[in-house]
Structure 1
Amino acid sequence: MMERIEARYWIETPFPVEKAASAMAGEQSSGTFVKVVGESEELTRRHAARVERIEQLESVAAPSLPVSGALGFVPAEYQRAFVTLSWPIENVGYHLQNVMATVAGNLFELSQFTGLRLLELGLPEAFYKKYVGPRHGVSGTRKLVSVSQRPMIGTIIKPSVGLSPKQTGKRVAELVEAGVDFIKDDELMGDPPHSPFEERVDAVMTVINELAQIQGRKAMYAFNVSGSIDEMLKRHDYVVSRGGTCVMASMNWVGMSGIETLATHSDVPIHGHRNGWGMFYRSPFMGVNYTVMQKIWRMLGVDHLHCNGLRNKFCESDESVVASAKACLDPLSGYGDRALPVISSGQWAGQASDTFESIGSPDLLYVCGGGIVGHPDGLKAGVNSVRSAWEAALQGVPLGEAMSASTDLQRAVEFFAKP
């Protein structure tokens, strides 16, 4: 039996669902709006996409997205359904870029739909043999930062922009001395005139290397190498030459080929930042589930994946955050390790217990920006508050009880837990 790619969608359409699903399959395989020369029955049988399943849902009176004038009629109602399509692997070969063009290409422009979202993607086993997957993942990152059981605790350089390399190095020294395991460039930082990339690497790694000799463990810093492919490889090499242990890339803007090339080349973990995700994932009526793209990024070699955090400062629900984190920790076929979920965005000590209870694993990178650097008693108190909260969470100790044993945690709750 021929191996097939399978994708599941939520759709909304003014047409009968079967007709709309057929249009999806035709548009993304051998069909067009009119029969053409060369479109033989044999070709169609061999290469056409197939409608595998239709699960009829409710109908609504108004469209979720604007209706195209090309319809030629005023719909009385709009049908919703789950639709599963499949394609023969020989249509695209074992290339993830072409897979995404197939399952998420022109479908979103079709006038037959007033809503369309890619929910799930299933791939033949051979894909997992071709793509390297995370080369460091959870276990490799734990080894590099010398943290074996609890979540790794991280933060972001703040202010986001404006600090010189010297100022950045000073802030990094303060954070490492305070006890953080991980620090990252803000995604807005790349190679700006006020902080040239190589000068920033020099300033940061000088203090990290010096403090590693004193502390007996080395903090990880994720330098944002995002740029052209040649720039990313050059920046990666410079980070490694200075003793750096992580690079970061803005996945949506670097793109699949950029990530694949960087991952193949990289000697250190790749910290995948998903900035821009809301354009693709926010609307329930249009776009691609983040868990679909997580699978793609993992296969291409990303080691750390941003997943947002509970009660975050953005629009994402806790349910969605938990699903993303669990998807990172769900092993993909044939890979030696999982991706490390990055829990961030408005996080502080107060979400630790709920995060552990919801995700069910300490294999996390728990990144607090203001939740550490904004602690009223300073950086060390900020780190201690988060660490104390996680120690309590892992031991099943209620937050109120943990507060009585940690002044830093108590002060964090008093300061951050405002209405």
Structure 2
Amino acid sequence: MIIEDEVIIARYYMETPKSLEKITRNAASEQSTGLGTRSGFETGGLIETYGAKVVSVDSTEIGDLNKGIVEIAYPIKNFGPVIPMLLTTVAGNLFERAEIKNVKLLDLDIPPAYLSEFKGPKFGASGTRKILGVVDRPLLGCVIKPCVGLEPETFAQAAYEASVGGVDFIKDDELISNPAYSPIEVRTSATMEALDRAEEETGEKTLYAVNVTDEVANIMGNAESAISNGATCLMINVIVTGFSALRMLAEDQSIKVPIHCHRDMFAAFARSPAHGISSQVVSKLARLCGADH
């Protein structure tokens, strides 16, 4: 019996030369209580309480492969409101199984009770628009180029010109964070002074998202440095730093600016239509962990 409020249902696309229904049952077992072959400790009661259950299998035989969409329900009690353990459950050893030619995690159906365990974004799209005072048109954003190598003063001048030109949102490139030639505190201070000057001329605000990506132990320090020097937005490369790093940043009460997430390295597991993890899953998890955009 599946109680919807107590499970997260993962939807996958799978390809296998074997029975898709059998492969799905084995996957549900391996990603919860066992490996398909029961041990003496894997009791019926344990399986009923903690075992993942197959919800549906929609299989079509095409050539030598069985392809289709399958759904597996995973008990929330197995991982709790912990994104690393959720991902380990729904996207762990499943991807290593030799009998599965391809598998793509397409979506997660998450019940309201689980959603309530997360604080989510502080601003979102509507809050960002409110900061900018723009409600009736698309927001225009840009990235300062070249990606790396600009001294803070030159970077700030480029930001000024973009702002005067009508840009609402400026972000660091994902390739620059806190290099010796452009430390966060110096680059942020220079850029915000330039954007204040642009606002005086145009009467319009421009957000600047400072990239605070770093080793996890340094992220909060980078954020504090950026904000103390006037940053109006923060940016983090969420795939390489991890969802928990984003959550740590977003749930800190001292962070009172929007957080912009960059997707670099995402295509390594999202580009194939048949294998990997979909953008929808990544976007949902980032939202849970506090990404504003």
TM-score range, shorter chain: over 0.9
- Within a 5 Å distance, the mapping from 1:47-126 to structure 2 comes to 47-60=50-63, 77-126=64-113
What is the number of residues matched between the two proteins?
A: 288
> How far apart, in 2, do the equivalents of 1:199 and 1:41 lie?
62
Q: TM-score, normalised by structure 1?
A: 0.66
Q: Give the drift of 1:146.
A: 2.0
Q: Give the drift of 1:214.
A: 3.8
> How far apart, in 2, do the equivalents of 1:239 and 1:55 lie?
50
SS at match of 1:257: helix
Answering whether residue 180 of structure 2 is matched by residue 193 of structure 1, we say yes
> How far apart, in 2, do the equivalents of 1:94 and 1:208 lie?
39
> How far apart, in 1, do the equivalents of 2:130 and 2:45 lie?
55
Q: Deviations over 1:116-151 (max 9, x none)?
A: 111110112112211111211111111222212101
Residue matched to 1:69: none
The equivalent position to 1:283 in structure 2, one of 259, 269, 272, is: 272
Amino acid of the residue matched to residue 282 of structure 2? M
The equivalent position to 1:160 in structure 2, one of 147, 168, 193, is: 147
Q: Give the drift of 1:25.
A: 0.7
Q: Give the drift of 1:56.
A: 1.3
Residue matched to 2:30: 27
Amino acid of the residue matched to residue 166 of structure 2? G
Amino acid of the residue matched to residue 285 of structure 1? A
- Within a 5 Å distance, the mapping from 1:351-366 to structure 2 comes to none
Tell which structure's C-alpha radius of gyration is larger: 1
Amino acid of the residue matched to residue 99 of structure 2? Q
Q: Does the 8 Å contact 1:224/1:247 carry over to 2?
A: yes
Q: Give the drift of 1:288.
A: 0.8
The equivalent position to 1:217 in structure 2, one of 204, 228, 236, is: 204
The equivalent position to 2:8 in structure 1, one of 2, 5, 27, is: 5
> How far apart, in 1, do the equivalents of 2:185 and 2:54 lie?
52
Q: Give the drift of 1:242.
A: 2.2
Q: Percent identity?
A: 37
The equivalent position to 1:253 in structure 2, one of 240, 243, 247, is: 240
> How far apart, in 1, do the equivalents of 2:217 and 2:134 lie?
33
> How far apart, in 1, do the equivalents of 2:85 and 2:235 lie?
25
Q: Does the 8 Å contact 1:229/1:262 carry over to 2?
A: no
Q: Deviations over 1:5-60 (max 9, x none)?
A: 11111111111112111111111010125332311111112111111111112323
- Within a 5 Å distance, the mapping from 1:282-321 to structure 2 comes to 282-304=271-293
Residue matched to 2:48: 45
Q: Deviations over 1:355-405 (max 9, x none)?
A: xxxxxxxxxxxxxxxxxxxxxxxxxxxxxxxxxxxxxxxxxxxxxxxxxxx
With 33-42 and 118-127 compared, the bigger mean Cα shift is at: 33-42
SS at match of 2:205: coil
> How far apart, in 2, do the equivalents of 1:192 and 1:7 lie?
40
Q: Does the 8 Å contact 1:144/1:245 carry over to 2?
A: no
> How far apart, in 1, do the equivalents of 2:124 and 2:76 lie?
28
- Greater relative CO (CA pairs within 8 A, separation 6+): 2
Residue matched to 2:225: 238
Answering whether residue 135 of structure 2 is matched by residue 132 of structure 1, we say no
SS at match of 1:249: strand
Residue matched to 1:143: 130
Q: Does the 8 Å contact 2:121/2:291 carry over to 1?
A: yes
> How far apart, in 2, do the equivalents of 1:249 and 1:226 lie?
5
With 212-221 and 280-289 compared, the bigger mean Cα shift is at: 212-221
Unaligned runs of 5+ in 1: 61-76, 305-419
Residue matched to 1:18: 21
Answering whether residue 200 of structure 2 is matched by residue 184 of structure 1, we say no
Amino acid of the residue matched to residue 274 of structure 1? R
Q: Give the drift of 1:274.
A: 0.4
> How far apart, in 2, do the equivalents of 1:248 and 1:220 lie?
11
Q: Does the 8 Å contact 1:209/1:243 carry over to 2?
A: no
SS at match of 2:242: helix
Q: TM-score, normalised by structure 2?
A: 0.94
Unaligned runs of 5+ in 2: none
Amino acid of the residue matched to residue 29 of structure 1? S
Q: Does the 8 Å contact 2:185/2:225 carry over to 1?
A: yes
> How far apart, in 1, do the equivalents of 2:145 and 2:77 lie?
49
Q: Give the drift of 1:96.
A: 2.4
Q: Deviations over 1:178-212 (max 9, x none)?
A: 22111111111111222222211121111112333
The equivalent position to 2:159 in structure 1, one of 172, 189, 197, is: 172
